[in-house]
Amino acid sequence: MTEQQAIIVPQISSLPEHEARARLLVRWLSQQNIIEAQLSTCGRTGLRMGYAIGPGARKVVKHPEHLPYAQPVNGLEIISKRCIYTPTRDFAEEAGCPECRQEVGEALFESLDEWMPGATDNFQCPLCGHEDDINGFLFLQSCGFSNLGLVFNNWADAEFTGDFLAELAERLGFKVRLVRVDL
Ligand SMILES: [Zn+2]
């Protein structure tokens, strides 16, 4: 079975009180039995600590038969440091300006050298001067740039429902993007 991740990222570089919001979200997800309340070794990175998949996950996806119940890596990992989330396969680094509609991918992805250490949250279109949080630009392939990322290991094939994504966005207070990563 191929390994993949469904990563939910709020569309803002610096989510205010991101750790507190993440804690509230984990509490709500565990109350819904979507994940287990306690950390265990069901993640992929570092010490592999994550919140294992729970029985309620079936309610929030379109294809529950693809949920990773039988796999050792099946949990939610919370990333609470600034991170760039892009698809790892066939990623073209394309981006568009929402103002002048021109292709600005090359300059935008180069600017991540300044975004990553926190020098700025924004990107300025080199063609028309439009400036916004980098998440405000247009991405043909979904990507995210934020100090919070919710990494659901091996949940991507099951596909979250639109209602679930809308609920997460409401709870985080910002629109979210879903980034699929194939490993
Ligand atoms: Zn522009």
**Cα separation, 95 vs 115, whole angstroms:** 16
Length of the chain: 183
From the CA of 44, how far away is ligand 1's center (Å)? 38
Place of tokens 């979507």: 34
From the CA of 48, how far away is ligand 1's center (Å)? 41
| pLDDT tens per residue across span 151-174 | 999 999 999 999 999 999 999 999
Strand partners, 179: 7
Q: Sign of the C-alpha dihedral, residues 118, 122, 128, 129?
A: negative
| pLDDT tens per residue across span 33-62 | 999 999 999 999 989 999 999 999 999 999
Neighbours of ion ligand 1 (CB under 5 A): 97, 99-100, 125, 127-128, 130
Q: Where are the alpha helices (DSSP H) in the chain?
A: 18-31, 105-110, 112-115, 162-172
From the CA of 61, how far away is ligand 1's center (Å)? 36
